[in-house]
């Protein structure tokens, strides 16, 4: 779901080949030349965005100077880097010699390529498509990418930042590689195994830890299937949605073990204050949680602050746009 916190890029063309990006939120400025897009650091996203756009036959004869600001917690599991990348791709599409009007799904596709595929990272594509298309999406990536806009009237959430650092890439890498190894083992004894349709599976090839992770993955799949019909309604049942969020968090906490004591304290405080449900956000291991509080967001936000978190009252919002 795209939320009502935003990253913003402003900028203009230069007369030379230099690209200058000011980042006042973190006190940094980045610069390079258009004719030298060799990556010089991990996740060199501004260069990769230009390379991906150039691969779509966009031409940049002039450099540009821009400033990026953001309301989104950084490295906290809320898609801050994807929001910036989506905005950057949109910005580049308008700064090219011949500007193009890509639709939202195309911008999401290119942002995913520039952020994930270009650097062989383990992340998914949900953040990029959410940021560009907006509101609530149901996304399937197999056998091909399929995206459905749901846009139910869910109301208000409270995002809580634990202010704990997290290692997103290593957590995602571990989760992805472990699941791929589990699927590989299961297919030895179950040649027709399909993670989306399986019911009774012979788990004898798996060790105890792998069995737990596999069972947790299936529980998450089933929670999604229970929630999806409700989310397809114009007005979903808030209690049902809150319950599903809390059930999902229990799997992340108890089986996948990606929660933290601080996140647990924030979630407990939210539920005690009357939130209908909540869960850790992103890859886990720190960062943010969110609570579903359509009727008492201010009270829930205060409860999160009292246990040391930073709170943001948020709602579903539209995707990337020119303002």
38 pLDDT more than 90: yes
Query: What is the rounded (10 degree) CA torsion for 3, 138, 178, 244?
Result: 70
Return the pLDDT at 136.
Answer: 95
CA angle 204, 207, 210 (to 5 degrees): 105
Name, in order, each residue with C-beta under 8 angstroms of 144's C-beta and a sequence gap of 6 or more: none
Nearest to residue 241, comparing CAs of 263, 222, 226, 256? Answer: 226
Distance of CA 22 to CAs 3, 163, 240, 288, Å?
A: 24, 24, 44, 26
Query: Where exactly does CATH 3.30.70.890 map onto the chain?
Result: 156-315
Helix (H, G, I), strand (E, B) or coil at 310: strand
Quick: pLDDT tens for 156-196: 999 999 998 876 666 666 667 788 888 889 988 888 888 88
Quick: pLDDT tens for 85-125: 999 999 999 999 999 999 999 999 999 999 999 998 877 89
Return the pLDDT at 267.
Answer: 98
Query: Where exactly does CATH 3.30.230.10 map onto the chain?
Result: 7-149
CATH number of 7-149: 3.30.230.10
Mean pLDDT of 131-138: 95
CATH assignment of 156-315, given 3.30.420.10, 3.40.50.10860, 2.40.40.20, 3.30.70.890?
3.30.70.890
User: What is the rounded CA–CA span in Å between residue 258 and residue 190?
Assistant: 29
Return the pLDDT at 174.
Answer: 65
Return the pLDDT at 172.
Answer: 64
Quick: pLDDT tens for 136-162: 999 988 788 899 999 788 999 999 999
Return the pLDDT at 168.
Answer: 62
Return the pLDDT at 158.
Answer: 98
User: What is the rounded CA–CA span in Å between residue 308 and residue 303?
Assistant: 9
User: What is the rounded CA–CA span in Å between residue 203 and residue 198?
Assistant: 12
Quick: pLDDT tens for 39-73: 999 999 999 999 999 999 999 999 999 999 999 99
| Element housing 111 (H / E) | helix 104-115
Per cent of the chain over pLDDT 70 is 97
Average pLDDT, the chain: 93
The burial class, CB within 10 Å (0-12 / 13-18 / 19+), for 16 is: exposed
Quick: pLDDT tens for 218-265: 999 999 999 999 999 989 999 999 999 999 999 999 988 889 999 999
Q: Which structure tokens are listed for 48?
A: 């990769």
Mean pLDDT of 133-137: 95
Please, are residues 107 and 127 in contact by the beta-carbon 8 Å criterion? no
């Amino acid at each position: 779901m795209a939320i009502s916190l935003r990253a913003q890029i402003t900028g203009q063309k230069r007369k030379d080949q230099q690209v200058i990006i000011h980042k006042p939120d973190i006190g940094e400025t980045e610069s390079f030349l258009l004719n030298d897009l060799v990556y010089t650091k991990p996740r060199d996203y501004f260069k990769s965005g230009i390379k991906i756009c150039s691969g779509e036959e966009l031409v940049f004869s002039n450099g540009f100077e821009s400033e990026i600001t953001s309301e989104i917690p950084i490295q906290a599991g809320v898609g801050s880097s994807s929001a910036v990348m989506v905005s950057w791709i949109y910005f580049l599409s308008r700064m090219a010699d011949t500007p193009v009007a890509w639709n939202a799904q195309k911008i999401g596709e290119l942002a995913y390529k520039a952020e994930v595929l270009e650097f062989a990272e383990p992340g998914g594509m949900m953040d990029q498509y959410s940021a560009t298309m907006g509101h609530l999406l149901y996304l399937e990536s197999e056998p091909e990418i399929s995206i459905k806009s749901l846009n139910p009237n869910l109301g208000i959430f409270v995002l809580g930042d634990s202010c704990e650092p997290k290692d997103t890439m290593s957590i995602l890498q571990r989760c992805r590689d472990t699941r791929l190894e589990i699927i590989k083992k299961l297919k030895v004894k179950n040649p027709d195994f399909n993670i989306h349709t399986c019911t009774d599976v012979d788990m004898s090839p798996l060790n105890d830890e792998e069995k737990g992770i596999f069972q947790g993955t299936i529980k998450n799949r089933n929670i999604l299937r229970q929630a999806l019909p409700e989310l397809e309604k114009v007005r979903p049942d808030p209690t049902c949605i809150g319950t599903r969020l809390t059930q999902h968090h229990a799997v992340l906490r108890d089986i996948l073990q990606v929660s933290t004591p601080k996140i647990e304290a924030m979630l407990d405080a939210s539920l005690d204050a009357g939130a209908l449900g909540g869960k850790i956000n992103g890859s886990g291991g720190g960062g943010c949680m969110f609570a579903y509080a359509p009727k008492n967001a201010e009270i829930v936000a205060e409860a999160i602050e009292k246990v040391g978190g930073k709170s943001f009252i948020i709602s579903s919002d539209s995707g990337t746009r020119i303002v």
